[in-house]
């Protein structure tokens, strides 16, 4: 799992949040559905900025200090102040924001679980087969000499 896994998680979370928004707006309340969408968007933006910050600070080619400072200034003051105002304006129910924010973690869990199940897949018979390397890829010498001698005849 690499950086592309996190980018797929962000895309999937936003798609799931948009679908949840449609269903919640239609069948429940619009403010609750908007809160789910806002919470998920905030969580995805947080994950995106955190990913970029970690990759920039652990870059083996050297750290781009201007980019790191920009990411720190955007992530910590601006993102968290916007999260504070999302809670402060009281338009969105707090539970809907929490559901949206937790949606990102649910997608991470389900994607990792799916990837684990797919990589552990295969039939029971495939798991019981012994690879040729376990026996050095050879049959017993008597059968080889028999096969060689029988092919000469």
| pLDDT reported for residue 59 | 86
Give the residue ranges of the chain where pLDDT is below 50: 145-146, 149-153
Whether 112 maps to a domain, the answer reads yes
| pLDDT reported for residue 120 | 82
**pTM value?**
0.73
Whether 149 maps to a domain, the answer reads no
Domain count, the chain: 1
Whether 8 maps to a domain, the answer reads yes
| pLDDT reported for residue 129 | 57
Whether 152 maps to a domain, the answer reads no
DSSP state letters, 75-137? IIIIIHHHHHHHHHS-SS-HHHHHHHHHHHHHHHHHHHHHHHHHHT-S-HHHHHPPPGGGGTT
Whether 131 maps to a domain, the answer reads no
Domain that holds residue 113: 3-123
3-state secondary structure of 8: helix
| Distant-in-sequence contacts of 15-19, Cβ < 8 A, 24+ apart | 16/40, 16/103, 16/107, 17/41, 17/100, 17/103
| pLDDT reported for residue 140 | 52
Whether 135 maps to a domain, the answer reads no
Q: Let me know: does 77 contact 85? Beta carbons within 8 Å.
A: no
Hunting for tokens 């008597």 — which residue is that? 142
φ/ψ of residue 51, rounded to 5: -60, -45
Q: Let me know: does 130 contact 24? Beta carbons within 8 Å.
A: no
Whether 147 maps to a domain, the answer reads no
Whether 137 maps to a domain, the answer reads no
| pLDDT reported for residue 123 | 55
| pLDDT reported for residue 98 | 94
């Amino acid at each position: 799992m690499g950086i592309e896994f996190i980018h797929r998680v962000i895309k999937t979370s936003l798609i799931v949040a948009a679908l949840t928004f449609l269903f919640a707006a239609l069948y429940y309340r619009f403010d609750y559905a908007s809160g789910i969408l806002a919470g998920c968007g905030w969580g995805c933006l947080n994950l995106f900025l955190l990913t970029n910050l970690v990759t920039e600070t652990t870059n083996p080619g050297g750290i781009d200090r201007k980019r790191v400072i920009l990411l720190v200034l955007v992530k910590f003051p601006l993102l968290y102040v916007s999260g504070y105002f999302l809670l402060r304006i009281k338009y969105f129910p707090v539970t809907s924001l929490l559901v949206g924010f937790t949606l990102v973690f649910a997608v991470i869990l389900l994607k990792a679980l799916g990837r684990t199940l797919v990589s552990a897949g295969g039939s029971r018979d495939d798991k019981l087969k012994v690879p040729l390397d376990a026996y050095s890829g050879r049959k017993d010498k008597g059968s080889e000499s028999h096969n060689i001698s029988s092919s000469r005849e």
